[in-house]
Amino acid sequence: MSGYRKLGRTSSQRKALLRNQVTNLLYHGKIRTTEAKAKEIRKIAEGLIALAVKEKDNFEEVTVTAKVPRKDKDGKRVKEVVDGKKVTVYDEIQKTIKKDKPSRLHARRQMLKVLNPVTEVPKAVAGRKRNTKAVDMPAKLFDEIAPKYVDRKGGYTRIVKIGQRKGDAAMEVLIELV
């Protein structure tokens, strides 16, 4: 007997399906799916959340000096002529960044093996490539989701049965973060 549900798919299809569903669950907080899929999603999602809770505060704040191009009022880079060439003018600024310690970096990479990249599109201009931004899912796990579950020892998700689906009578459920 296998240790997981095969969900009537090849291994590559199953892996892609579960990665998408886990990513959507963590991004949106809840998703609607079948009971068998939800039970498989729960295993993966709870493992990721447990990893995030464990490594939540394992970083150090470092101040670095960064070169940033100077911009004019229209948001375009300021250029000046040096030795007959147009060169961009840079300003040096101090930035404080979070530097992951080795175990947190490893946890981040483990999460990236499972999670798919998420692109956030503003609702006003849906369907356009302009103003879209990539969401850092491991950062969301560490900064938003993990602090909620610090005092909890597991059981980060809840499965609520909705009823049977009209087309094939499969049991539909709502899986959500508690």
* Per-residue pLDDT tens over the stretch 19-39: 999 999 999 999 999 999 999
Residues 153 and 91 in one domain: no
Q: Residue 150 is part of which domain span? A: 11-58+101-177
Residues 112 and 45 in one domain: yes
Strands 30-34 vs 133-135: parallel, antiparallel or unpaired: unpaired
Give the C-alpha separation, 164 to 178, whole Å.
23
Residues 21 and 108 in one domain: yes
Q: Does residue 1 sit within a domain? A: no
Mean per-residue pLDDT, 4-19: 94
Residues 46 and 106 in one domain: yes
Q: Which domain CATH number covers 20?
A: 3.90.1030.10
Concatenated DSSP letters of 36-82: HHHHHHHHHHHHHHHHHHHTTT-EEEEEEEEEEE-B-TTSPBPEEEE
Query: What's the Cα-to-Cα distance from 150 to each of 31, 51, 169, rounded to whole Å?
Result: 23, 11, 38
* Per-residue pLDDT tens over the stretch 114-154: 999 999 887 776 666 777 889 999 999 999 999 999 999 98
Which pLDDT belongs to residue 162? 95
Which pLDDT belongs to residue 1? 58
* Per-residue pLDDT tens over the stretch 69-100: 998 888 888 898 888 889 998 999 999 999 99
* Per-residue pLDDT tens over the stretch 38-69: 999 999 999 999 999 999 998 999 999 999 99
Q: Does residue 6 sit within a domain? A: no
pTM over 0.75: yes
Q: Of 100, 128, 154, at which residue does a domain stop?
A: 100
Residues 108 and 165 in one domain: yes
Question: Three-class SS of residue 24?
Answer: helix
Question: Total structural domains in the chain?
Answer: 2
Q: Of 49, 75, 100, at which residue does a domain stop?
A: 100
Residues 39 and 87 in one domain: no
Residues 119 and 162 in one domain: yes
Strands 79-82 vs 85-88: parallel, antiparallel or unpaired: antiparallel
Backbone Cα Rg of the chain? 22
Task: Looking at 78-155, list the stretches that DSSP marks H as alpha helix, in order from N- to C-terminal side.
Answer: 102-114, 137-140
- What counts of helices (H) and strands (E) characterise the chain? 4, 9
Q: Confirm if 59 and 100 have CB atoms less than 8 A apart.
A: yes
Residues 126 and 164 in one domain: yes
Q: Does residue 70 sit within a domain? A: yes
Give the C-alpha separation, 31 to 35, whole Å.
12
Q: Does residue 29 sit within a domain? A: yes
122, two tokens: 């503003």
Mean per-residue pLDDT, 159-164: 96
Q: Confirm if 175 and 35 have CB atoms less than 8 A apart.
A: no
* pLDDT higher than 70, residue 3: yes
Which pLDDT belongs to residue 127? 64
Closest to 134 measured CA to CA, from 115, 148, 152 = 115
Residues 107 and 171 in one domain: yes
Q: Does residue 75 sit within a domain? A: yes
Residues 90 and 173 in one domain: no
Residues 112 and 173 in one domain: yes
Q: Does residue 4 sit within a domain? A: no
Residues 93 and 109 in one domain: no
